[in-house]
Amino acid sequence: MSGGVTLAQIRSMDTVSVDATARTRFQMVLMAIFGGSALLLAAVGVYGVMAYTVRQRTHEIGVRLASDADPRVVRHMVIRQSLGVTLPGVVLGIAAAFGLARVLDGLLFGVTVHDPLVFVGVPLFLTAVTIVAVVRPSQIASHIDPAVALRRS
What's the predicted TM-score (pTM) here? 0.72
pLDDT band at 16 (very low <50, low <70, confident <90, very high): confident
CA-CA distances (angstroms) from residue 140 to 38, 86, 133, 134, 144?
30, 21, 12, 10, 6
Residue 88 banded pLDDT, cuts 50, 70, 90: very high
The whole-chain average pLDDT of the chain stands at: 84
Q: CB atoms < 10 A from the CB of 81, how many?
A: 14
DSSP of 139-150: HHHHTS-HHHHH
- What is the per-residue pLDDT for 107? 67
Mean pLDDT, rounded, for 2-7: 69
For residue 34, pLDDT over 90 is answered with: yes
Poorest-pLDDT segment among 23-27, 115-119, 143-147:
143-147
* Range list of H helices, 5-145: 13-56, 58-66, 71-100, 116-142
The pLDDT-based confidence of 37 (bands split at 50, 70, 90) is: very high
Measured torsion, CA atoms of residues 119, 92, 113, 25, in degrees rounded to the nearest 10:
-80
pLDDT at 95 over 70: yes
Domain boundaries, the chain: 37-152
Q: Which residue has the higher pLDDT, 109 or 29?
A: 29
Q: What percent of the chain has pLDDT over 70?
A: 94
Share of the chain above pLDDT 90, in %: 8
Interval 21-31 mean pLDDT: 86
